[in-house]
């Protein structure tokens, strides 16, 4: 997980408090988690209408979270 300071570097514009940065960071992590879970769910169901060119990314993600 990115630190608050690392997040502030990516949020170039805006004067955010540490608490606001933590909320933004946590929301983005939740959104990413939701997208990944939905992608896996639709892929397993065979309903994924998108190209599978990025499938090589998923195994590396799973290795880091296992």
Q: Model confidence over 7-64: pLDDT tens digits?
A: 888 887 778 899 999 999 999 999 999 999 999 988 888 765 555 555 555 555 555 5
pLDDT grade, residue 66 (50/70/90)?
very low
Contacts with 40 (C-beta within 8 Å, 6 or more apart), sequence order: 58
Contacts with 62 (C-beta within 8 Å, 6 or more apart), sequence order: none
Percent of the chain topping pLDDT 70: 70
pTM beyond 0.75, yes or no? no
**In this structure, are residues 24 and 16 in contact, taking their beta carbons and an 8 Å threshold?**
yes
Q: What is the pLDDT of residue 10?
A: 81
């Amino acid at each position: 997980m990115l630190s608050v300071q690392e997040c502030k570097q990516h949020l170039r514009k805006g004067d955010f408090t540490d608490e606001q940065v933590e909320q933004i960071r946590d929301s983005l992590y939740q959104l990413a988690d939701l997208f990944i879970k939905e992608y896996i769910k639709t892929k397993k169901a065979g309903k994924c209408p998108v190209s599978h060119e990025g499938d090589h990314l998923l195994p590396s993600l799973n290795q880091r979270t296992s």
